[in-house]
């Protein structure tokens, strides 16, 4: 029995972790050369306009930030045609997830989502002392079974999480499908529409001539819906941690009471304000993403690997072999991807769509990893004495 086992909460004892292991000195030394395609980050980073805004904000770093994120909140409200009280800015959309769980859940209650969805849902629900129910996906497919999600809802359910597009599969629910689903959800349940990859999905939907999302209409109508957005993806601000929720004013008011004080830095707020106006940069990012998604899909398919059509900035790829071993062989060549064993897909990886140069390097490394195979990897490891 460890020293603090009996002192910490049951939730803390039972929770797992999604954090990466501590890097070795060798890994830290080579990190600057690593082609990092494992975390769905923007390969372009923030725009020059945003960098300038951050530099200007640094001169005020001796002062605490605006706790209410007032200017950003008002600008987001205008941008989305909502009153400011229906906007809550948080330290990334994951912080908004935690606030919703702390506000709506408790021991004995549950939240519902699909299997093979965003892994932070489980952590946020467990931290609130509640239980996450994962409905099965469609048989033989990589998309949500909304009827199965509805069937999993019971009297103790308070939240349903729908990641749209879903992480890690990249699959998208069309607007009409979501609307039909919402009409069937009972009144004691809040539906969280997690649209972290909104800008990418909107672009793909336009190319495919389908309607992606009507989520803000549900918010305007007063539905029990909270929409999550973030500046971490298309805007390239993952390192600053700034996201937001759009939903019923009363519910967001309760969530705001649970928020950490000064949780969104002044630099992050300044960056988000500038990023919101930089439509040209976002257009560059989403257009590159659409083009390079085809390059990666064709390259992986030519290797005999199955790739799911994406609506996000990453690809879900079924390798037909152990993904963790494959990812290790790639890492030895300086390319990081995400093996999906913790999501219940041990033969699959998630690959961030990078620049043309990054994607070419990944495909070349993947080709060598395929040629070596698991047996070749074991032989080379033994030769090195590892």
pTM across the whole model? 0.91
Contact between 110 and 158 (Cβ < 8 Å): yes
Three-state secondary structure readout of 32-44 = HHCEECCCCCCCC
Gyration radius from the chain CA atoms? 21
Q: How many domains does the chain have?
A: 2
Does any domain span residue 376?
no
Residue 227: which pLDDT band, with cuts at 50, 70 and 90? very high
The CATH number of whichever domain residue 128 belongs to comes to 3.40.640.10
Last residue of a domain, one of 255, 277, 299: 277
pLDDT digits (tens, 9 = 90+) for 347-385: 999 999 999 999 999 999 999 999 887 755 444 443 344
pLDDT at 140: 79
Is 302 found in the same domain as 273?
no
Q: What residues are paired with 338 via a beta bridge? A: 350
Does any domain span residue 311?
yes
Does any domain span residue 377?
no
Is 206 found in the same domain as 109?
yes
Half-sphere exposure of 316 (CA within 13 A, CB side): 23
Residue 165: cis peptide before it, omega within 30 degrees of 0: yes
Q: What are phi and psi of 350, to 5 degrees?
A: -115, 130
Last residue of a domain, one of 230, 254, 277: 277
Last residue of a domain, one of 225, 242, 277: 277
Rounded distance, CA 309 to CA 307, Å?
6
The CATH number of whichever domain residue 318 belongs to comes to 3.90.1150.10
pLDDT at 30: 53
Does any domain span residue 9?
no
Q: What residues are paired with 193 via a beta bridge? A: 162, 227
pLDDT at 22: 41
Does any domain span residue 214?
yes
Query: Which uninterrupted H or E stretch holds 375?
Result: helix 356-384
Rounded distance, CA 187 to CA 223, Å?
9
Q: Starting at the earlier edge strand, list the strands of the sheet with 348-352.
A: 306-308, 314-318, 348-352, 338-339
| Count of C-beta atoms within a 10 Å radius of residue 84 | 15
Is 337 found in the same domain as 209?
no
Is residue 187 exposed (0-12), middle (13-18) or buried (19+ Cβ within 10 Å)? exposed
Contact between 336 and 361 (Cβ < 8 Å): no
Does any domain span residue 206?
yes
CA–chain centroid gap for 34, Å, is: 21
Is 353 found in the same domain as 262?
no
Residue 174 reports pLDDT greater than 50: yes
Residue 28 reports pLDDT greater than 80: no
Is 179 found in the same domain as 315?
no
Is 127 found in the same domain as 248?
yes
* Domain carrying residue 242: 58-277
pLDDT digits (tens, 9 = 90+) for 50-84: 999 999 999 999 999 999 999 999 999 999 999 99
Is 268 found in the same domain as 150?
yes
Is 333 found in the same domain as 270?
no
pLDDT at 139: 81
For residues 334-338, average pLDDT: 97
Residue 209 reports pLDDT greater than 60: yes
Is 115 found in the same domain as 248?
yes
Of the candidate ranges 24-28, 252-256, 257-261, 296-300, the one whose mean pLDDT is the lowest: 24-28
The mean predicted confidence, pLDDT, of the chain is 92
What's the N-to-C CA distance of the chain in angstroms? Answer: 32
Does any domain span residue 384?
no
Residue 24 reports pLDDT greater than 60: no
Does any domain span residue 212?
yes
Is 333 found in the same domain as 347?
yes
Rounded distance, CA 110 to CA 354, Å?
37
- CA-nearest of 191, 215, 190, 192 to 202 is 215
pLDDT at 1: 57
Is 320 found in the same domain as 265?
no
Q: How far, CA to CA in Å, does 189 sit from each of 46, 152, 194, 219, 376?
A: 37, 12, 15, 15, 51
Is 308 found in the same domain as 255?
no
Q: What residues are paired with 131 via a beta bridge? A: 110
pLDDT digits (tens, 9 = 90+) for 273-317: 999 999 999 999 999 999 999 999 999 999 999 999 999 999 999
């Amino acid at each position: 029995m460890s020293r603090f086992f009996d002192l910490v909460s049951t939730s803390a004892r039972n929770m797992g972790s999604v954090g990466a292991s501590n890097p070795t000195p060798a890994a830290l030394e080579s990190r600057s050369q690593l082609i990092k395609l494992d975390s769905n980050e923007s390969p372009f980073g923030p725009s020059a306009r945003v960098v300038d805004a951050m530099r200007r904000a640094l001169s005020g770093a001796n002062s605490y930030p605006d706790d209410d994120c007032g200017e950003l909140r008002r600008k987001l409200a205008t941008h989305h045609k909502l009153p400011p009280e229906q906007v809550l800015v948080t330290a990334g959309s994951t912080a908004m997830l935690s606030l919703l769980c702390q506000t709506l859940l408790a021991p004995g209650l549950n939240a519902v989502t699909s299997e093979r969805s965003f892994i932070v849902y489980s952590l946020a629900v467990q931290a609130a002392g509640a239980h996450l129910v994962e409905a099965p996906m469609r048989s033989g497919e990589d998309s949500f079974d909304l009827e199965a999600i509805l069937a999993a809802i019971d009297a103790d359910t308070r939240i349903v999480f729908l990641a749209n597009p879903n992480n890690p599969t990249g699959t998208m629910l069309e607007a009409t499908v979501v609307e039909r689903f919402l009409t069937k959800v009972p009144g004691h349940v809040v539906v969280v529409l997690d649209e972290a990859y909104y800008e990418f999905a909107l672009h793909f939907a336009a190319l495919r001539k389908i309607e992606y999302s009507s989520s803000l209409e549900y918010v305007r109508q007063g539905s029990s819906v909270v929409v999550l957005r973030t500046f971490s993806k298309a805007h390239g601000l993952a390192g600053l941690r700034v996201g937001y929720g759009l939903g019923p004013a009363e519910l967001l008011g309760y969530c705001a009471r649970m928020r950490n004080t000064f949780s969104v830095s002044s630099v992050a707020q300044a960056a988000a304000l500038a990023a919101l106006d930089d439509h040209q940069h976002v257009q560059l990012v989403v257009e590159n993403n659409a083009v390079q998604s085809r390059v990666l899909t064709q390259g992986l398919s030519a290797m005999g690997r199955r790739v799911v059509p994406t609506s996000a900035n990453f690809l879900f790829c079924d390798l037909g072999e152990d993904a963790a071993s494959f990812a290790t062989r790639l890492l030895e060549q300086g390319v990081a991807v995400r093996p999906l064993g913790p999501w219940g897909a041990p033969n699959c990886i998630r690959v961030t769509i990078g620049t043309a140069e990054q994607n070419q390097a990944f495909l070349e490394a993947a080709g060598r990893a395929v040629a070596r195979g698991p047996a070749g990897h074991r032989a080379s490891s033994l030769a090195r004495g590892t």
